[in-house]
Amino acid sequence: MNRFVIAEPQRCIGCNTCMAACSEVHQAVGLQAHPRLTVVKVEDQTAPMLCRHCEDAPCASVCPVNAITHEDNMIFLNESLCIGCKLCGLVCPFGAITPSGSKPVNLPAVFDHFVPEEMLADVPASLPTTNPFLAWNAGIRAIAVKCDLCAFSDEGPACVKVCPTDALHLVEEDSLEEQMKARRLDSVMEPMTSLDDLSTLTQERK
């Protein structure tokens, strides 16, 4: 089975620390700074939404340049190969792939002669609120970004590491059974705790 990160809404406090850490570590290694997860809110609960590294991976199936591959028990997206067609994001069942882009860093001065910035000054730009699948900005190459489990880091996913409430967990095949046992134990102990509280309350009233 593929590895993936999952969130527990009951523990998430919506602090967005995971998004900030994700953006920082990826930018530090020269990848797109856009966070690979998004904290969403439904009623009074929040939780990060990110790639589930699907076994069948529809995103990999539709990629016309094989920029998305199955390797090391995960679905890996090579940003250098991506051509920005956005097909992967359209077929993702979790909405976990987002087109994003930025101007090249340390672009050689020779390229300034080809498309000077003043020539693009009158080109309309997309509003910040525009859906990323509809946005288009001259001089910026938008490519797909998705969770890569921070494969470049020996410390594993940065979001899991920085979460202050341990709401994020890396799910792997060897640890899945242990996590399931812990959840079953929690579900058994919770009603017992409730019964103990009720018994104590009853004794106090007597």
Question: In this model, does residue 122 exceed pLDDT 90?
Answer: no
Residue 89: per-residue pLDDT: 94
Average pLDDT of the residues in 61-69: 96
Give residue 194's pLDDT. Answer: 57
Residue 115 exposure: Cα atoms within 13 Å on the Cβ side: 8
Q: Across residues 168-191, what is the average pLDDT? A: 76
pTM for the model? 0.73
In a domain, 194, yes or no: no
Instruction: Identify the domain containing residue 153 by its residue range.
Output: 2-104+123-187
Q: Does residue 115 lie within any of the structural domains? A: no
Q: What is the pLDDT, as a whole number, of residue 179?
A: 66
Q: Which tokens sit at 140?
A: 């910026």
Phi, psi of 104 (to 5 degrees): -55, 140
Q: Note the helical H segments in 11-125.
A: 17-28, 58-62, 87-91
182 within a domain of the structure (yes/no): yes
Q: Is 14 left (phi over 0), alpha (psi -120 to 50) or beta?
A: left
- Total number of domains constituting the chain: 1
Q: Which uninterrupted H or E stretch holds 196?
A: helix 173-205
Q: Does residue 192 belong to any structural domain of this protein?
A: no
Of the given ranges (48-52, 113-117, 138-142), which has the lowest mean pLDDT?
113-117
pLDDT digits 0-9 by tens, 8-43 = 999 999 999 999 999 999 999 989 899 999 999 888
The answer to whether residue 46 sits within a structural domain is yes
199 compared with 53, residue with greater pLDDT: 53
Asked if the structure places residue 204 within a domain, the reply is no
